[in-house]
């Protein structure tokens, strides 16, 4: 609900309020973002507004008319350089006369019906009635620029999305150096900034920094949203925990270079900005042209990190993920990559698929190695014809045989890339991002196709269209395996090279839009060397993304916990792989590998033909159990309990950071699945406790180990949540073997909870 009271604009979701006002000077003062507050119609909430008496020492008065106003010490909805504010700006542009000073003042505000589609970028969506839209237009009258600030209110998810559009209404070209998506100025600086950084196979490492002074930046310049710094970040209070306290979550619906900064001003206020990274960004706006910034997504909760995460999860599932697969149950998959790598042929794939079918898998995915002469990663990207040495009947032949086995068929592609050793490169050496005549820095022996060019986008659309219709294809894994270097497009002149990174993303979105539109029945999974492009932009087209090439259960538990702060588990691909694990060489029990993977979009990625009978039997049971419970896991509400990043103490003497608890509860709270996992066995301890979350406190549940054999009881939801369930744990020590230790290193337990029939 959007409420206007005079110059005050109050955006209410079910449980939160966001407010700003137009000041006498024409600037927008940010008033409040937090727990929902009541504002009477006709009664402006003046108490929230700053009262100006005099400017602080050594700052500048805004104008002769407003000498007591210094823009350096006001909470602003958007900020620019040159009129007194020296903090991170929202917009920065070089005008026709070379100046960089801008001053945007209120022109008009409009309430618009629903959410319109962006011209250039993907965005959130909502049915009419689900989303409110406020557009505030500001004008820089000195330089003829117009800035639209768009606010989208998703009341039932407690989410507000923001974006901006800058229009050049002057007679001169303008060089845009930055246009952010969100700016939120907080009154105090006592916040913790949490980011999710990492590298290949180490995605989403959570780091919390207590902000006290200066500036902290989370940004990517890899050309993708990146595993180095995911665009999802949080601001919380020092005392905030998983279930209590203020927490703000911020997302950006964008897949390229991004930037999130927090800055504490000299006057103790905290500014947060997020948007496209300004690094090396320069976009030329001719007279009459405009530029759209991606949507930023904001969620607030006073119920801790879990409260905020659940709001984000609901928003991503309802207003980002779309298409035929939005609500469809996802199939159990078997992927060929870690089973065979490049060493595939039809016979081997069919053997693998048959073993998958026997175990209960529903979808078989042929990963890399099937096209051109792709015997390793140095060749053939770009040559999207089946390698007849390996697949005599082509994609049509193998997909038909897999279908006949009763499995759906999926295929791997990496459409945005080309190897120098390929026909495509030989024919179109100018179709890549590289600087003509200069040495090129190579990644995985491949180069990036120049998707800023329309003819290259057309090639990708045409080539992929041919692959996707070359057989009975139900699933596509769309990969992208390198980061950008040598940013340069031969299709743009010198003055426009600062646009390459952004134009690439726009070109990619066009390809994805066309192909998902033409093949709506296909389940697309995004991938970027694992999680190097895990963001809401991709999720606007593909309903799931491969979370990490690291399938080690211990690492995966941590990586998936990291993602869960900003993303629902129902969008992240998670597979059981072989041990010793190919990334860490660690051996974890098969059941732990399964317990961790089944919380995501679940599958296997190992050579089932090599497994012994006992393991295959276990896998069969796992898949059978999963099919029974997957609806809870794929559509339920996810809660974190203790996590491996809970700080303090060594795991030898203290158990902090040694235990992980996850719970997923069905929307009607009839059923839940819980997991407790341990990093390392702790000597001389007797028991551990699992605490459920999110249950109906007053209802009685049957609680049992998945697959039977472990703990089993009936208890009220409150007892399971607040008291927990003590787990059996036999003791061994002092050389006495008093039974087997039930909880060794990397052990886990999986629990099913179901409301008792006839009870409340």
Residue from the set 39, 166, 334, 527 that interacts with ligand GLA by CB under 6 A = 527
H or E segment and range at residue 563 = helix 553-564
CA geometry: angle at 725 spanning 723 and 728, to 5°? 145
We find the least distance from the C-beta atom of residue 481 to ligand GLA, in angstroms, to be 5
d(CA 702, CA 21): 53
DSSP designation for 73: G
- Closer of 72 and 479 to ligand GLA (Cβ): 479
> 383, 549, 552, 696: which is the annotated catalytic residue?
549
Q: Which of residues 308-347 bind ligand GLA (CB under 6 A)?
A: 337
d(CA 526, CA 122): 15
d(CA 637, CA 309): 10
Strand bridging mode 732-733 / 671-678: unpaired
Residue 668 a catalytic site member: no
- Closer of 530 and 694 to ligand GLA (Cβ): 530
Work out the number of other CB atoms within 10 angstroms of the CB of residue 109.
18
Q: Which of residues 548-567 bind ligand GLA (CB under 6 A)?
A: 549
d(CA 538, CA 255): 7
- Closer of 92 and 479 to ligand GLA (Cβ): 479
We find the least distance from the C-beta atom of residue 529 to ligand GLA, in angstroms, to be 5
d(CA 200, CA 117): 34
Residue 387 a catalytic site member: no
Stretch that binds ligand GLA, among 282-290, 396-404, 466-474, 522-530 (CB under 6 A): 522-530
Q: Does 529 bind ligand GLA (CB under 6 A)?
A: yes
We find the least distance from the C-beta atom of residue 527 to ligand GLA, in angstroms, to be 5
Per-residue contact flags (x/-) with ligand GLA for residues 454 to 493, judged by CB under 6 A: -------------------------x-x------------
Q: Does 203 bind ligand GLA (CB under 6 A)?
A: no
Stretch that binds ligand GLA, among 445-453, 527-535, 592-600, 619-627 (CB under 6 A): 527-535
Give the phi and the psi of residue 483 in degrees, each rounded to 5: -100, 165
We find the least distance from the C-beta atom of residue 573 to ligand GLA, in angstroms, to be 9
Listed in sequence order, the residues at least 6 apart from 391 whose beta carbon sits closer than 8 Å to its beta carbon are 345, 346, 370, 397, 398
Per-residue contact flags (x/-) with ligand GLA for residues 83 to 102, judged by CB under 6 A: --------------------
- Closer of 140 and 367 to ligand GLA (Cβ): 367
Q: Does 534 bind ligand GLA (CB under 6 A)?
A: no
Name the one residue in this structure whose structure tokens are 């679940």.
602
Helices then strands (H, E): number in the chain?
12, 40
**Angle between helices 394-404 and 346-359 in degrees, nearest 10:** 20
Biggest alpha carbon–alpha carbon distance for the chain = 87
We find the least distance from the C-beta atom of residue 342 to ligand GLA, in angstroms, to be 8
- Closer of 45 and 531 to ligand GLA (Cβ): 531
**Burial class for 651, CB neighbours closer than 10 Å (0-12, 13-18, 19+):** middle
We find the least distance from the C-beta atom of residue 478 to ligand GLA, in angstroms, to be 10
Per-residue contact flags (x/-) with ligand GLA for residues 366 to 385, judged by CB under 6 A: -xx-----------------
Q: Does 530 bind ligand GLA (CB under 6 A)?
A: yes
Q: Does 746 bind ligand GLA (CB under 6 A)?
A: no
Stretch that binds ligand GLA, among 256-264, 468-476, 497-505, 524-532 (CB under 6 A): 524-532
Cα radius of gyration rounded to whole Å, the chain: 27
Work out the number of other CB atoms within 10 angstroms of the CB of residue 133.
18
The alpha carbon of residue 272 and the mean position of all alpha carbons in its chain are separated, in whole angstroms, by 19
Which is nearest to 333 in space by CA: 117, 42, 504, 573? 573
Which is nearest to 300 in space by CA: 33, 563, 561, 566? 33
Q: Closest CB to ligand GLA belongs to which residue? A: 368
Give the binding-site size for ligand GLA (rule: CB under 6 A): 11
- Closer of 8 and 337 to ligand GLA (Cβ): 337
Strand bridging mode 333-335 / 601-605: parallel
State whether residue 172 is helix, strand or coil.
coil
Per-residue contact flags (x/-) with ligand GLA for residues 391 to 420, judged by CB under 6 A: ---------------------x--------
Q: Which of residues 160-189 bind ligand GLA (CB under 6 A)?
A: none
> 383, 479, 535, 696: which is the annotated catalytic residue?
479
CA geometry: angle at 709 spanning 707 and 713, to 5°? 95
Residues that bind ligand GLA (CB under 6 A): 337, 367-368, 412, 479, 481, 527, 529-530, 546, 549
Q: Which residues have a catalytic role annotated? A: 479, 549
């Amino acid at each position: 609900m959007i409420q206007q009271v005079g110059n005050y604009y109050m955006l209410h979701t079910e449980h939160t309020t966001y407010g700003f006002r137009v000041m006498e000077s024409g600037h927008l003062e940010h008033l409040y973002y937090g727990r929902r507050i009541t504002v009477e119609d006709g009664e402006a909430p003046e108490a929230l507004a700053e009262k100006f008496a005099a400017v602080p020492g050594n700052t500048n008065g805004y104008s002769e008319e407003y000498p007591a106003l210094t823009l350096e010490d006001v909470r602003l909805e958007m900020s620019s350089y040159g009129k007194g504010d020296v903090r991170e700006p929202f917009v920065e542009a070089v005008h026709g006369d070379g100046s960089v000073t801008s001053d945007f003042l209120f022109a008009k505000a409009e309430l618009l019906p629903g959410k319109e589609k962006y011209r250039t970028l993907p965005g959130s969506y909502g049915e009419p009635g689900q989303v409110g839209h406020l557009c505030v237009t500001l004008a820089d009258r000195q330089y003829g620029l117009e800035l639209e600030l768009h606010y989208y209110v998703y009341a039932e998810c407690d989410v507000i999305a923001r974006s901006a559009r800058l229009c050049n209404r002057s007679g001169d070209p303008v060089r845009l150096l930055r246009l952010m998506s969100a700016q939120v100025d907080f009154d105090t600086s006592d916040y913790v900034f949490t980011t999710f950084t990492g590298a290949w196979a180490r995605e989403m490492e959570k780091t919390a920094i207590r902000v006290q002074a200066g500036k902290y930046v989370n940004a990517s310049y890899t050309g993708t949203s990146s595993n180095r710094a995911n665009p999802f970040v949080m601001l919380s209070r020092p005392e905030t925990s998983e279930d209590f306290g203020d927490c703000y979550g911020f997302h950006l619906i964008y897949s390229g270079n991004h930037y999130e900064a927090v800055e504490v001003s000299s006057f103790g206020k905290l500014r947060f900005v997020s948007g496209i990274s300004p690094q090396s960004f320069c976009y030329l706006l001719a007279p009459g042209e405009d530029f759209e910034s991606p949507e930023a997504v904001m969620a607030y909760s006073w119920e801790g990190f879990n409260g905020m995460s659940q709001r984000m999860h609901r928003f991503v599932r309802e207003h980002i993920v779309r298409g035929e697969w939005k609500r469809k149950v996802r199939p159990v998959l078997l992927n060929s990559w870690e089973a065979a790598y490049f060493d595939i042929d039809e016979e081997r794939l069919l053997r693998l698929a048959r073993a998958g079918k026997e175990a209960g898998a529903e979808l078989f995915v042929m990963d890399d190695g099937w096209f051109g002469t792709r015997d390793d990663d140095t060749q053939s990207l770009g040559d999207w014809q089946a390698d007849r040495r390996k697949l005599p009947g082509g994609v049509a032949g193998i997909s038909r045989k897999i279908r006949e086995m009763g499995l759906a068929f999926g295929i791997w592609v990496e459409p945005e890339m080309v190897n120098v050793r390929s026909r495509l490169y030989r024919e179109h050496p100018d179709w890549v991002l590289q600087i003509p005549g200069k040495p090129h820095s190579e990644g995985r022996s491949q180069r990036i196709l120049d998707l800023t060019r329309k003819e290259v986008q057309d090639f990708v659309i045409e080539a992929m269209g041919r692959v996707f219709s070359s057989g009975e294809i139900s699933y596509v894994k769309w990969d992208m395996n390198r980061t950008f270097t040598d940013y340069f497009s031969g299709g743009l002149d010198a003055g426009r090279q600062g646009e390459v990174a952004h134009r690439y993303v726009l070109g990619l979105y066009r390809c994805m839009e066309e192909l998902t539109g033409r093949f709506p029945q296909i389940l697309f999974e995004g991938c970027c060397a694992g999680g190097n492009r895990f963001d809401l932009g991709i999720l606007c087209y593909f309903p799931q993304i491969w979370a990490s090439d690291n399938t080690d259960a211990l690492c995966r538990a941590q990586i998936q916990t990291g993602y869960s702060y900003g993303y629902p588990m129902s969008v992240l691909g998670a597979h059981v792989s072989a041990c010793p694990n190919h990334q860490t060489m660690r051996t974890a029990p098969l059941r732990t590998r399964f317990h961790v993977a089944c919380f995501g979009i679940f599958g296997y990625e190992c050579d089932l033909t090599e497994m012994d009978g006992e393991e295959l039997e276990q896998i069969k049971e796992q898949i059978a159990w999963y099919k029974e419970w997957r609806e809870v896991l794929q559509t339920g509400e996810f809660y974190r309990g203790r996590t491996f990043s809970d700080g303090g103490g060594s795991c030898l003497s203290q158990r902090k950071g040694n235990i992980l608890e996850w719970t997923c509860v069905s929307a009607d709270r009839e059923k839940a699945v819980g997991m407790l996992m341990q990093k390392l066995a702790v000597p001389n301890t007797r028991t551990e406790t699992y605490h459920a979350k999110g249950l109906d406190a007053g209802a009685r549940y049957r609680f049992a180990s998945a697959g039977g054999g472990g703990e089993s009881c009936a208890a009220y939801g409150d007892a399971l949540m607040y008291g927990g369930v003590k787990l059996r744990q036999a003791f061994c020590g002092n050389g006495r073997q008093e039974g087997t230790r039930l909880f060794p290193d990397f052990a886990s337990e999986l629990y099913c909870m179901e409301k008792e029939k006839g009870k409340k």
